[in-house]
Chains A and B, each alone.
Chain A
Amino acid sequence: MTGGKRIAKLILIILFVGLIATPVVLRRLYAHREKSLSTADAQSALNRYGVHFDEVSKAIGINFTHQAPTLDHKLDHIMPQVASMGAAVSIVDFDRDGWPDIYATNSGEGSKNALFKNQQNGSFKDVAGEVGLADVNQVSTGVSMGAVWGDYDNDGYEDLFLYKWGRPELFHNDGGKSFTRVTDKAGFPSWVNANTAIWFDYDADGKLDLFLGGYYSEDVDLWHLKNTRMMPESFEYAQNGGRKFLFHNLGNGSFEEVSQAIGINTKRWALAAVVADLRGSGHPDLFIANDYGISELYFNDGKQFREVGKQAGVGFSPKSGMNAAVGDVLNDGRYSIYVSNISEEGVLIQGNNLWLPKEGTAGDKLQYENLARDMDVEIGGWSFGAQFGDLNNDGNQDLYLVNGYVSADRNKNYWYDFSKITGGNSTIISDAANWPAMEGRSLSGYQQKRVWLNDGSGKFVNVATAVGAGDNYDGRSVALVDLWNRGVLDVVVANQKGPLLVYKNTSAAENKWIDFELEGSGSNRSAIGAEVKLFWNGKKQVQTVTGGSGFCAQNQRRLHFGLGKNPQVEKAEIRWPSGRTQIIERPVIGQVNKVKESA
């Protein structure tokens, strides 16, 4: 070897070693950064991040632990991963007293759901039994997976749609005093294994319609399996899940199922959905996050939907979609969509998706790009529910994410067996009998939650442990709500086989806020689908009233805007589902602005 080649070889070896060392160095740098962000006491966190949370559930009278169902014994060997959903939370002011209440679902056979009424004195009381919303989980009719509230008959009181692995139920709110089961009149199907439902008025007729998304196929009764071939046919390309339903509200207490007629025809494994007017067309569009496959995006042309996921860029790379939430993360008046997936070090790094509208695209040509990595909201473990909201009132939409799948034996891991079976052909993976027994092992258990604060310039920073969100239960559903009318967003988390947690928010006092509580008149009375675009200090932020978002969750109906320091609010532009627009000049900050749709 010549001298020149020797030198070249030496340089090559150094480069080679350097490259091999690169991931190790990067990991150490990242770990160091994470550590510095995770250590802070309450006051330091408040000073540094503008927010701190205290978990107060017990102190405020909420003592609720979710129970999982026990399904057919043929599934005993993998029961923890099949019976792994059902902890859900939705927010409602069911008695219209101006104080938000909390509805939490349970899933054990014979277990009771809870409706925690806000006592207006800081505490809550479970009144589900009194009002007729507790005893809803039975083998014969299935168990709860989630609930969404919407005033389907426009009488001013929010009614409850309860979706299950079983018979979906509709409860009419009788003046905030009690509830009457009206499922039979509504005309819903006898059995749907559903994990998502959304109230929205797709045809702008002033009456709330209902989307219901199936997970397992509706011909599967998980308590009485005909056979064990009920698992997904593929880990990323499955189309043997539950069908989708769109119930058109006929206005007389009954609904007509119209999904196929208007273009929604899919049997992917839906776990979450969200609705928003993504194109500014005046018609609410539907986004579905599917497990075991690609996401779907349905543009609504008023009376007809068309699936445009691939065209829009969100429906190409299949992952394990478990959440769908919208938020204006750049304060540019456009909605981004957050979809949670699975990331497990050393096995599967799907990464979560933050779909931002591409610059220069709009209307029917709207396209999205995934900026989760660039904005640092990509890796969240086995992610489930997530919601956007301004947690520190600094004027930017932050993101709260819960995660963790099966927390069992801390020292034994099911991932190897999971990865083994999920690579198999459909004949293997789709049969539960072929799945190795879990034997008490964990599968992405005991995971650290994420509280991603948006710095307003395109980056999020995870400060979960520093700001007090330190639990590691198997989080499923998260809802944001100002529980005590203080002008901050508190966080309620439903955990699978775990407690319902309430994180009370303490935000920096110098950051101001403004809320809007909307009531439709020509539009549906819940104002679901209405959006408020707020202009202040040269910024604009759009938010919409949703009839469900995240994973099996529903935030408060009220729209909350953080404004930062010394805000000068110019105007609030309200667009109602009816198409009407209302402008409020210089709305008052630091209070809830109640707005009724003008005629």
Chain B
Amino acid sequence: MSETTSNTVAAVELRKPRFRLDNRYIAPLFITFILLVGHLSYGILESYWKTGLSIVTALVIELILGRIFFGKWLNLASAYITGISVGILVRSPAAWPYALCSAISIMSKYVLRVKGRHIWNPSNFGLSVSFFLAADTMAGLSIQWGNYKAPLIVIWVLGSIIIYRARRFHISATYVVSFFVFAFLRSWITGDPWASEIAPITGPMYQLFVFFMITDPKTTVKSKLGQCVVAFLVAFAEFIFRLMQVVYAPFYALFFVGPTANLIEIWWEARRKQQPI
């Protein structure tokens, strides 16, 4: 019995890969892959150093604040995603908006906390605030990275696999399906061609939004059903913003719906804990 057990363990050890990538690094690697492919193929970035500035700003602030408030050097995967997202999504001829947006994003995790949880997705907070307040200097990425379908399909497929592996595919899927339904509804209401309503989701901004922003484990509710409901509500809020002709509709939708859902969940959990067993 013990031998058998021992043999089984040995077999398992033999099959164990020599190198196993920590799940935390899959998303950063994927987003880096998107960035490199996009930039080397089409020159999507304003410049290397501006993107570098946003990444470095995010990493440095995360290190400092993590050390001060948690007493340790934090893993930087999350800050890296924030920095690189800002680096890709911000379009400005000036450098300071990149640093500013990154700084606001990371700092929001430490300032805007309820019951120990930060309630906004950091880059969503930073981008929404920046787009709203610094509209004269910066804008969001709103164009295609080239127009070939192949890279688009590769990114969507690869992103889906990765997000599936991270067990958050249902969030992205709910949002995408909802987006298409609402696009159809908008087209019906406004009379605009359906193709123009679905046009935005074929762009890179949505790839980042769908795979990295709305699925952020730290700022989504815990239950699977709840996550789907929130993704649907984000799409619904975006639908409303789009009817109001708001350019950054998805960011603002998540900005309002995400924290609201988190607050409800926090309140609900607190209430449940107070109830006598």
Contact = CB atoms under 8 A, between A and B. Distances in A.
Question: Is chain B found bound to chain A in the same assembly?
Answer: yes
Interface of A: 5, 8-9, 12-13, 15-16, 19-20, 22-24, 26-27, 30, 233-237, 294, 316-318, 344-351, 370, 372-373, 378-379, 413, 415-417, 419-429, 431, 433-437
A5 B200 contact: no
A417 to B, nearest CB: 7
Contacts of B94: 373
A184 B100 CA distance: 60
A9 B149 CA distance: 48
Contacts of A349: 91-93, 136-139
Given A419-B247, A424-B195, A425-B144, A16 B202 contact: no
B104 A435 contact: no
Interface stretch (B23-31, B76-84, B107-115): B107-115
Contacts of B192: 417, 436-437
B110 A316 contact: no
B217 interface: no
B36 to A, nearest CB: 15
A420 B190 CA distance: 14
Contact of B197 (A13, A237, A420, A433): A420
A234 B110 contact: no
A422 B196 CA distance: 9
30 contacts: A12-B110, A16-B104, A16-B111, A19-B107, A20-B104, A22-B100, A23-B100, A23-B137, A233-B147, A237-B147, A346-B139, A350-B91, A379-B136, A417-B196, A417-B245, A421-B196, A422-B143, A423-B199, A423-B205, A424-B195, A424-B199, A425-B144, A426-B147, A427-B149, A428-B195, A428-B196, A428-B199, A434-B195, A435-B193, A436-B196
B135 A345 contact: yes
Contact of A373 (B93, B110, B202): B93
B259 interface: no
Interface of B: 42-43, 46-47, 65, 68-69, 91-94, 97, 100, 103-104, 107-108, 110-111, 129-131, 133-139, 142-149, 152, 190-193, 195-200, 202-203, 205, 245-247
Contact of B103 (A8, A19, A419): A19
A42 B198 CA distance: 52
Contacts of A427: 149
A262 B148 CA distance: 30
A134 B197 CA distance: 44
A256 to B, nearest CB: 35
Nearest to A238: B147
A428 B202 contact: yes
A424 to B, nearest CB: 3
A16 B107 contact: yes
Contacts of B247: 346-347, 415-416, 419
Contacts of B197: 420
A23 B69 contact: no
B200 A423 contact: yes
Give the 3 A-B residue pairs with the shortest CB-CB distance, closest first.
A424-B199, A426-B147, A351-B93
Given A8-B68, A13-B111, A16-B111, 17 more contacts: A9-B110, A16-B104, A22-B100, A23-B130, A346-B139, A348-B139, A349-B137, A349-B138, A420-B200, A422-B143, A423-B142, A425-B203, A426-B144, A426-B147, A429-B144, A433-B193, A435-B196
A71 B91 CA distance: 34
B184 to A, nearest CB: 15
Nearest to A341: B93
Contacts of A433: 193
Contact of B199 (A27, A236, A351, A425): A425
A373 B100 CA distance: 18
Nearest to B110: A12
Nearest to A430: B147
A190 to B, nearest CB: 30
Contact of B245 (A237, A316, A416): A416
A82 B124 CA distance: 35
A436 B193 contact: yes
Contacts of A19: 100, 103-104, 107
A78 to B, nearest CB: 11
Contacts of B149: 425-427
A231 B192 CA distance: 17
B144 to A, nearest CB: 5
B188 to A, nearest CB: 14
A236 to B, nearest CB: 5
Contacts of A344: 139
B102 to A, nearest CB: 10
A5 B190 CA distance: 53
Given A15-B107, A350-B93, A436-B193, A318 B43 contact: yes
A237 B151 CA distance: 14
Nearest to B112: A16
A311 to B, nearest CB: 14
B111 A317 contact: no
Nearest to A316: B43
Contact of B152 (A16, A421, A425): A425
Given A349-B93, A416-B245, A20 B129 contact: yes
Q: Which of A13, A16, A20, A370 has the most CB of B within 10 A?
A: A20
Contacts of B100: 19, 22-23
B246 to A, nearest CB: 7
Given A12-B107, A27-B136, A346-B135, A372 B93 contact: yes
Contacts of B195: 424, 428, 431, 434
B257 to A, nearest CB: 20
Contact of A348 (B130, B133, B142, B203): B142
A329 to B, nearest CB: 18
Contact of A12 (B65, B134, B193, B196): B65
Contacts of B93: 349-351, 370, 372-373, 378
A429 B65 CA distance: 44
A424 B108 contact: no
B134 A423 contact: no
A26 B152 CA distance: 38
A3 to B, nearest CB: 13
Q: Which of A318, A344, A372, A434 has the most CB of B within 10 A?
A: A434
A23 B202 contact: no
Contacts of B190: 436
A318 B92 CA distance: 13
Contacts of A429: 144, 147, 199
Contacts of A431: 195
A27 B133 CA distance: 9
A294 B43 CA distance: 10
Contact of B193 (A30, A237, A372, A434): A434
Contacts of B111: 9, 12-13, 16
Contacts of B142: 347-348, 419, 422-423
Contacts of A318: 42-43
Contacts of A378: 93
A415 B91 CA distance: 17
A538 B111 CA distance: 58
A422 B204 CA distance: 12
Nearest to A233: B147
A23 B134 contact: yes
A27 B100 CA distance: 15
B137 A236 contact: no
B204 to A, nearest CB: 9
